[in-house]
A and B are shown apart, each in its own frame.
Chain A
Amino acid sequence: EVQLVESGGGLVKPGGSLRLSCAASGFSFSSHSMNWVRQAPGKGLEWVSSISSGSSYIYYADSLKGRFTISRDNAKNSLYLQIESLRAEDTAVYFCAREVGSGGYYPDYWGQGTLVTVSS
């Protein structure tokens, strides 16, 4: 069974930083690209970033480039998202999701999410 478990969220002051983690199990983690997607309270899904299986290809949403860094450790079956200079508008549930597809890529399995709240 595919399982994705996010952690690392919490209450952070504006300007602070945070590292989110996603522990994967039940599939060959090193064979899949992975995504981070966020959802602000009461809002829609917003794609944040994706990383290829071997970390060779990394993409970020244009609006978020510069403060977010995605990485992975295939030996630990783990995905990470480092967020710097946090702002109130970064408050959201952050989901990690496995990516599949050929020709068109899409997330198929999602974790339960971890809540990041940015407030003083």
Chain B
Amino acid sequence: SYDLTQPPSVSVSPGQTASITCSGEKLADKYACWYQQKPGQSPVLVIYEDNKRPSGIPERFSGSNSGNTATLTISGTQAMDEADYYCQAWDSGTVFGGGTKLTVL
């Protein structure tokens, strides 16, 4: 089965850039997506097909995918960005990473 690995936690100061990685074998051969989930809420798609932003997602969210690693970058991080983030890829079914808790402090 295909696995995606994320760091359990990332911390960032307000206004700084946060980077969250997602690692999987030859991940660049697949499309990666990213979801934001706040406590008690459903996941929200923030990046799809490696680097595209859905309508309504702020420009400070961006994504890249190269080699074995996809990266979600949040520029000028705001307090409201504090959440869990999950990467996703498709391999005969959806695969999620274990999630990364982003703390803004």
Contacts and interface: CB of A to CB of B under 8 A. Distances in A.
Partners in one complex: yes
B6 to A, nearest CB: 9
Give the interface size class of chain A: 20 to 34
A111 B42 CA distance: 7
B20 interface: no
B45 A108 contact: yes
Contacts of A104: 30-33, 49, 89-90
Contacts of A47: 93-96
Interface residues of B, number: 27
Interface in B53-105: 54, 84, 86, 88-90, 92-99
A105 B99 contact: no
Contact of A35 (B33, B49, B92, B94): B94
- Top-6 shortest CB links A-B: A104-B31, A44-B99, A47-B94, A110-B42, A59-B93, A106-B33
Given A101-B90, A106-B33, A107-B88, 9 more contacts: A45-B35, A46-B96, A47-B95, A47-B96, A95-B42, A99-B94, A101-B48, A104-B90, A108-B45
